[in-house]
Amino acid sequence: MRTKLFGALLVAAVAGVACGLGHAILVVDVYSFIKGSGEDTIPYFVPPGSISASNTPKKISLPGAAASVVDSVTVFGTLDLRNQTGAGTIGLQLYLAADSAGSYQSSALVLNVPPKPVSGAATVKDTIIGRLAPGADSLFRRDEIWFRMQASGTNGGATLMQGAAVLQSLQLTIVVNDKIF
């Protein structure tokens, strides 16, 4: 009997340490919501100067943290910059909002991926990594949010720069502090 009680207490202690007291970690695979829909690709056409292009907002279902406090939201993903012609730089911005229209507001910008140089007919692999802007944390208490990507390009040459920014993966890791279950 004592061995069973000790075993149960040991399992409970390990579970408490693994999850943290009152913490839950939620992983949302954003890419799974847009994979194969065409929304994972942003074609770009950058004449000399600079320009931006975006996909249409996409609704993402969340588990909803309700009244819990969202400690942080981190992002990890991969992106292919498939340039076809010209040379310049391409960057990516991620927007999150409570509704579709809100994702077009400048205040919805939650992560800016620094521009990468592209040239000729080549693919440049990029990593999306960072922590979302602090104001975005409260959005994750909802059951759904709207997600939009925007590619921004600069072209210092005289030739049209064109290609596509193609998302390969994107996950949000949400750390919640409180009892949500």
> What is the chain's mean pLDDT, rounded?
81
Q: Which contiguous run of DSSP H or E holds residue 91?
A: strand 87-97
Inform me whether the pLDDT recorded for 165 exceeds 50: yes
Distance in angstroms (rounded) separating the CA atoms of residues 74 and 133: 9
Task: Give residue 172's pLDDT.
Answer: 85
For residue 13, count CB atoms less than 10 angstroms from its CB and return exposed for 0-12, middle for 13-18, buried for 19 or more.
exposed
**Taking a C-beta distance cutoff of 8 angstroms, is the pair 95, 181 a contact?**
no
Q: pTM of the prediction? A: 0.77
The domains located in the chain, with CATH, are 22-177 (2.60.120)
Class of residue 61 by CB neighbours under 10 A (exposed 0-12, middle 13-18, buried 19+): exposed
Look at residues 181, 150, 176, 179 and name the one whose alpha carbon lies nearest to residue 27. Answer: 176
Average pLDDT value for residue range 44-57: 87
* Burial group, residue 97, by CB count within 10 angstroms (0-12, 13-18, 19+): buried
Distance from C-alpha of 2 to C-alpha of 102, rounded to nearest angstrom: 58
pLDDT tens digits, 85-139 = 999 999 999 998 999 999 999 999 999 999 999 999 999 999 999 998 877 877 8
Whether the per-residue pLDDT at 142 is higher than 90: the answer is: no
